[in-house]
Each structure stands twice: as C-alpha cells, then as structure tokens.
Amino acid sequence: MPPPIRQVRWWILALLFFVTVINFVDRQSLSIVAPVLRDSLHLSNTDYGRIVAAFQAGMMLAEFPMGLLMDKRGVRFGFSFAVLWWSLANGLHVFARTMMQFSVLRFWLGTGECGNFSGAMKVISQWYPAKERALAVGVFNGGSMVGSIIAPPLLVFFTLRMGWPAAFLLPSSLGFLWLAAWVPLYHAPEQHSLISREELEYIQAGREVGESVAIRSVDLLRLRQTWGLILCRFMVGPVVQFYIYWMPEYLYRERGLTLKSIGLLAWVPYLFGDIGSISGGWLAGYLIGRGFSVGRARRLTMILGSLFCMLSLAVAGSRSVPVALMFICAVLFGHTALSANMFAAISDIFPAGAVGRVTALTGVAGGLSGMLFPLLTGALVDRISYWPVFLMAGLMPGIGCVLLFLLAGKLAPLGNQTS
C-alpha cells in the first residue's frame, strides 16, 4: 500500500467532510440569525417552529428521490446536482422578508440538503472496506459538527458587520467552490486514474460477501432490517436537530445570553460532537480489531452513545450556563458516536447498490420526525417550558437503538436474502 497521503480514498473522504461542513453551516444560518429575524418579523416560538418544519418537510419528501438518483445516476452526478440545488436555495434567502417566504426557501433548501447523507454513504460503501466504514462515517459525519462549530462565531461576525443576508450568502458561495473540486476529482474506485493497484485490491478484498447483490426498491420495504434502521433514525435524528435549531434560541431566551455571547460559546458543544463522531467510529474499528464481530461492535458503541444522550434530562435543570453547556457537550458527544455506527450499519447490512436508497428511506423517517419535533417543541415551549422537550431528547435515542436491535438482530450482511 502507498502511504496514506497517496491513498485516494482519504482524499475522497476529505471532500465528503468539507461538503458536510458546508451543509451544516447552511443549516445553521437560520438559527444563528433567528433572534434578529424573530424580533424584526415578530415571530412566536410556534412560527419559528413552522419555518424549521418546512425545511424538514423538504428533507423528508426529497429523501428517496435523492437516494434513487444516487443509486441510478451515480454520486458524481447526484452530489453535483444536490449541492448546486441547495446552494442556490440558501443564497436566495437574502430576498425573504416574511414567514411564508422563509418557509418556502427552507423547504427548497431541504430538498437539496437531504442528498448529503445518502450520497456520502453511497461513496463510503464503494470506497471503504467494512472494517473502516464506521471511521469513515465518523469523519464525514464529524463535518456536521465542525460546520456547527464554525457557524456561530463566523455567521455572527458577518451578521453584526454586514447584516443578516451575509449569513446566507457566505455558505452558498462555499458550495459552489466545493463543486469546482468535486466534479474533476471524483470517480468510482474501479474508474479512478489516480488509485494504485494495491489500494483498489484492498478496497475490493474488504467488501462483505453479497455486497454486489441487486435488490429492488419494493423488496427493501419488505425487510425487517430496513424498518429497524428507519425506526432508529426516526427516534435518533430529531435530537441533534433540536440542539442545532433551538440551542441559540434557548440560550438567548431562557439563559439570557446576548447574540455576541452565543457566537462565543455555542460552538463548544459541537466540538464535542465532532470528537464523539470520530471516537464512535474509532471505537467500533478498535473492537472489530480485537475480535468483535462488526455487528456486536456497532451495538456496543450505539448503546454507550445512547447512555450519554440521556444527559439531556440534566440540561434544563442546570442552575448555570456552564453546567448546562457541559451536559449539552456530553449529549452531542454520545449522539454522534451513536449516529456514526447507525449509518455505518446501513452499508454493513445492505449491498452497495441499495445503500443510497436505504439511507434515503431512513432519511424520510428522520425528515418526518424532524418536521414534527420542531412543531411539538414550539408548542411545548410556548405552553409549558423546555423541560418536556429535553426529556424526550434524552430518551428517544435509546428507544431507537432498542427498535433497531429487535428488528435487525446482529446487524449482519443480507447476502442473498431479499425477503
């Protein structure tokens, strides 16, 4: 094998990492400027929840078409279309002035950004052997936390100096720059001119038996493994979305922080989320190297992550901002460790030709719960408090893991099984 700097799969992973960073800077744009927009547009928590729900609705409705696009047309074209589509939508936010206009544009943004995970999982299923996939997922998924880390200080800086439209224009321009690198550099392993014979053989030798089996879309819905992953993401997904979309609002309204203070502090929990994402992937790989089966390593890491998520229950009861932030850090650490292995389990169980569609099906579930959870959050905060929301955020990941383990069993490859 050539040295890592010359192994093409790590360069491909770097592209996935950076596009995920851009994706989550895009998503953070609205939440960062939400205090300004809400005051100027006189929006209630319920109104803001509707705008967030519009984004999730777009994610949900476009998930499967995007996954199908990735499987049928390939990720080189599919990713290019998705990034172009969502970057244009985010840039057009500068013209929005009403709740309805923001809702329409957030919906459009969601129809493009949902392609990030189905495309990335498709790439990883093609470029990485089974034992490296959780680490690869952890690295690219860590981009979501890095995007969330840099978004508060970066977007607050530009908002305070140039106005809120700058918070939408900056990430849009980054999306177009990423495309300029992706289009000429990405090809499948067997077609890539820069890959060495040794690296290609290593990738092909590390694929599980049955990964080339073709499965029809209708047959995917007949498999209990598919439904286990769907239900798991339905329960797990809204938790990190809650912290991304509502943490600035929570710190501003409930904890009394200024917009400048949020810019200085709100990135810290996402740093721990990034550490958790990479650590979760590393831990699964370490356990596999110590003789654990792939499925057992995934299950143990996910259980550990769900236990960290339960610390959401302590956030609302914390008496000081530093203690609350400490618990939020622990929650995001556990959540991303869990998520890295949940996504990796898709490529462990299903053949490469179905990974895009299965990821998309789980994304539909995540989009549905992500659409309903902001509506419920807004209503609960307006009528009660944040307490019941943090309670649900603490328990849902563990419930999702239980459902996955019950339906998907040992998380083993399907092989030739289609029913």
Please work out, in degrees rounded to the nearest 5, the angle formed at the alpha carbon of residue 194 by the alpha carbons of 189 and 197: 65
Q: How far apart are CA 51 and CA 62, in angstroms?
A: 17
DSSP character at residue 255: S
In this structure, is residue 191 part of a structural domain? no
Q: How far apart are CA 236 and CA 253, in angstroms?
A: 26
Residue found by looking up tokens 């918070």 in the block? 167
What CA dihedral angle connects 280, 144, 142 and 116, to 10 degrees?
90
In this structure, is residue 417 part of a structural domain? no
- Residue 385: how many other CB atoms lie within 10 Å: 12
Instruction: Give me the pLDDT at residue 212, please.
Output: 53
- Residue 39: how many other CB atoms lie within 10 Å: 9
Q: How far is the CA of 228 from the CAs of 75, 87, 365, 403, in angstroms?
A: 25, 33, 11, 6
Nearest to 59 by CA among 374, 380, 416: 374
Nearest to 70 by CA among 80, 82, 62, 78: 78
Q: Residue 192: enclosing H or E segment and its boundaries?
A: none
Instruction: Give me the pLDDT at residue 175, please.
Output: 92
Q: How far apart are CA 368 and CA 107, in angstroms?
A: 13
Nearest to 413 by CA among 211, 126, 132, 124: 211
Q: How far apart are CA 11 and CA 31, in angstroms?
A: 31
Domain count, the chain: 1
Instruction: Give me the pLDDT at residue 301, please.
Output: 94
Could you list the pLDDT tens digit for every one of the 419 residues in the chain? 788 888 999 999 999 999 999 998 888 788 788 777 777 777 777 777 788 778 878 888 888 898 888 888 889 999 999 999 999 999 998 888 778 888 999 999 999 998 998 899 889 988 888 778 878 888 888 888 788 778 878 888 888 888 778 888 888 999 999 999 999 999 988 888 889 889 888 888 766 544 555 677 788 888 999 999 999 999 998 888 788 777 777 787 777 777 777 777 777 888 898 889 889 988 988 898 888 888 899 999 999 999 999 999 888 888 788 888 899 999 999 999 999 899 889 988 888 778 888 888 898 888 788 778 877 887 887 778 788 888 888 999 999 999 999 999 888 877 544 43
Instruction: Give me the pLDDT at residue 206, please.
Output: 63
Residue 382, CA atoms < 13 Å, CB-side half-sphere: 13
Residue 179, CA atoms < 13 Å, CB-side half-sphere: 18
- Residue 362: how many other CB atoms lie within 10 Å: 29
For the segment 303-351, what is each residue's pLDDT rounded down to a tens digit?
Answer: 999 999 999 988 888 878 888 889 999 999 999 999 989 988 998 888 8
Nearest to 355 by CA among 22, 53, 127, 101: 127
In this structure, is residue 419 part of a structural domain? no
> Collapsing DSSP states into helix, strand and coil, what is residue 371?
helix
Backbone φ and ψ for 144, nearest 5 degrees, come out as -65, -35
167 within 8 A of 155, measured Cβ to Cβ? yes
Q: How far is the CA of 12 from the CAs of 126, 127, 181, 213, 373, in angstroms?
A: 11, 8, 11, 24, 34
Please work out, in degrees rounded to the nearest 5, the angle formed at the alpha carbon of residue 246 by the alpha carbons of 143 and 254: 135
Q: How far apart are CA 405 and CA 366, in angstroms?
A: 18
List, in sequence order, the alpha helices (H) in 115-165. Answer: 115-127, 130-162
Please work out, in degrees rounded to the nearest 5, the angle formed at the alpha carbon of residue 176 by the alpha carbons of 173 and 178: 110
Instruction: Give me the pLDDT at residue 225, please.
Output: 93
In this structure, is residue 379 part of a structural domain? yes
Nearest to 263 by CA among 146, 159, 374, 143: 159
In this structure, is residue 307 part of a structural domain? yes
Residue 9, CA atoms < 13 Å, CB-side half-sphere: 28
Instruction: Give me the pLDDT at residue 416, please.
Output: 40
End-to-end CA distance of the chain: 39
Q: Which CATH number belongs to the domain containing residue 164 in this structure? A: 1.20.1250.20
Domain range holding 401?
4-184+196-408
In this structure, is residue 60 part of a structural domain? yes
Q: How far apart are CA 202 and CA 107, in angstroms?
A: 41
Residues 6+ apart with CB under 8 A from 180: none
43 within 8 A of 99, measured Cβ to Cβ? yes
In this structure, is residue 174 part of a structural domain? yes
Q: How far apart are CA 344 and CA 84, in angstroms?
A: 26
In this structure, is residue 189 part of a structural domain? no
